[in-house]
Chains A and B, each alone.
Chain A
Amino acid sequence: MKKFIDESWLVLVLGAVFAVLLAGAQTSFSTRIRTNQQRALNEAIGEVVPGTQRSEVVPIEGYPRDVFKCQDADGRLTGWAIDAVGLGFADKIRLVIGLSPDAETITGIKVIDNVETPGLGNKIAGEGEDAWANQFRGLKATGRVVRVKQKARPENNEIQAITGATISSDAVTRTVNEAIERVRSKLPTP
């Protein structure tokens, strides 16, 4: 026992000291980080549900994450936004799903948190006119979205996987499907 302590006391002490240091850093930064993440979430809601000026959380039974009722400046319903998390290739993927006011159509999705492989999997979060996630716009929320590979023209509720990133593409599709399934039927009637 003495030999063990003799060999490793520094490792143990450093471990304890660094643990305290990390706990301190985590506590002091967590509020700012959460504010940043909230801002990113609000921006994402504005993107996936066009015309949204404000949103409020509506509690959905059996769904642990936030679901938002989105309204424009006059209080008219512009749609719904669902905060969803799923397991990707590397780690968790967090995304926001936009639904039309009648919850029949997906108005868009946006991946707001991911650590997928740069250049391959992280194309799920790509932006711009030919963003991969744009495929989800206009799909039906009434049935499942299906991921296909190497199909020239994806049709009715199919989306094309990213070449070389099938697992990431599947993760997003699965997360979208599961979230919509759990939330859609429980949305309050507008």
Chain B
Amino acid sequence: MIDLVWLVPFFPLVGFLTILIGGRKLGEPKAGHFATTMVLLSFAAAVGIFFDLLSREAADRSEIVTLFSWVPVGDLKIDMAFLVDPLSSTMLLFVTGIGSLIHLYSVGYMHGDPKFSKFFLYLNLFVLSMTLLVLGSNLLVTFLGWEGVGTCSYFLISFWHTKDANASAGKKAFVTNRIGDFGVMLAMFLAFGAVGSIDYAVINESALAGTLTQATATGIAALLFLGAVGKSAQLPLYVWLPDAMAGPTPVSALIHAATMVTAGVFLMVRINPVLGAAADWVPTLIAYTGAITALFAATIALAQNDIKKVLAYSTVSQLGYMFLAVGTGAYVAAIFHMVTHAFFKALLFLGSGSVIHGMHDEQDMRKMGKLFKLMPITASTFIIGWLAIAGVPPFAGFWSKDEILLFALAESPILYVIGIVTAILTAFYMTRQVVMTFFGEQKWGSLANAEEAAHLESAADVGAADADADGNDAAAVADQPAPVETHGAHGEFKPHESPPTMLIPLVVLAGLSMVGGIIQLPSIGIIPKGAQHKLLDWLHPIVEFGEGPEERGIGEAIIKGTWAYDNKMILIAIAVACALIGIAGAFAVYQKKMAKPIEPKLFADGWNYDNMISWFMGNPGRKGFDGVADFDTKVVDGAVNGVATLVRETSNQVRKAQTGYVRQYAGVIGIGVVLLLGWFVVIRGIL
């Protein structure tokens, strides 16, 4: 079965090519069904590979399948080869699995879009690139996929490119990612220069054997981390991800939450022996980057009103957790959180898409509320996702977040405190979102009865931050029963539940978010021994090298014997308490109105980070660019033009010798002959 691994990228490739050629003819919904089938087949192949690997001994679970020699140039030999091991198998399963669910969802979500088939073209191309990224046995194949997913991300963010904002959001993502990609390329060059190969197997082995010098390992790890920062939207390059929400919601779910943005984490885990061989500051940098990003993005999420923006910042924050895990050596926890996050964040995004769909393209949570009764399935699944991300046991997110916090505490209490504060904030903003969307007060303008109108009016009187606009609306509504004109887009309509193709993925993902934690249960008393650390056992050959504390630094960090490890129950209690505090706090503020919501403008503006970049680029940056442009026009162009002017001036002088008088030419020739003769006779002494 492993030899057939090429089937995994092959099916999306077939889908991509078929829709490329005959997409318009297939039309809606056939193109969608076809694309979905292709990804499902790919998922089936991934499952087959998984079971094949599972049936082998742990030591034999890594195999390289070479398709063909790709770049044979002198010493540089790069094969189009796939590395099949537990890590890539895990990634494949959730990429193709969630991918097919989201394809199915998109059939419903993209209904009626004029570019229906093109959407699935891009989605299939994305799955193809993502599987290449995951399967690559060397950095170049991974890079091919890495660029491929970046391109698809760009296409899909600006899918509705007729709107300026969408087009520039796509550009922003592309340009920001380029900074990271440059790091990946440099890392490749460095690896080839130092090891003579860019195969993961060779690089990792030389790191384990100690033949890779610490300086080189540091360089490779730091440069790849730069790539990961770009792709996985960490500080300071996170700016593109919130804007990427301009794309259709299934794209946000698939690319900008579940799969592509986790590529950076995957890459870090893939080269974890190099991280171990690198100087200590690299893992520390990764851990702190992750932790600070997690906290930073969580604070921004507190004050967002766009239903997707909250989730976008939440994604940045959760990715921060994953990097925190990578930096503290908790590679299994990073992958674990990646998988559970893929479940619940895809669920939340798809749920928000369902809400947006039902609310007729309304994304502002201030105009929602009380949707639970009208969208029961969307709401219940969303609530499951909320509990999972907030860290309420026994939902999936609880287990993975808890494991990361455990490793964080074993590494440093500062990281732990940042992590736990972020956990509180996460619970808080997610509760805020659930309350504002599904509970609380009805803010949308269906005015079937006077009671609701009165309710609206009282809501206006209570007067939140946005009292002005809504208050006026509500007052106008109370006077006139049918105020379609004054209400514009959100006039008289009733939010509706979404079609079954959209609900099935929600239900499946909700199920996964509930039970996803079983793949890596912690080793605490009440859990049977056989059920603990399944994921660790599975990933063991990739993340654990050798035994004993002297091996610390290479592979999975060993935290046995630390205070954190011995007091896991206390940590779990703290984590649960924090989740509950966050939930209760948000519930009190937004549902019970016990306190005025504190949503500083600073948070709503994302700490003005975007504005600062604009300012920087507008002022000192602008001057810098102008300086460079001046240098170009004056020095570079000056040199070129100067040479031209010099030639012109010289020839202007020299051409005066061409008088056009034959006599003069004859005279000069005569003089020349005499001089030549003189030279031969007098100087050379001939004759």
Q: Do A and B come from one complex?
A: no
A residues adjacent to B (C-beta < 8 A): none
B residues with CB within 8 A of A: none
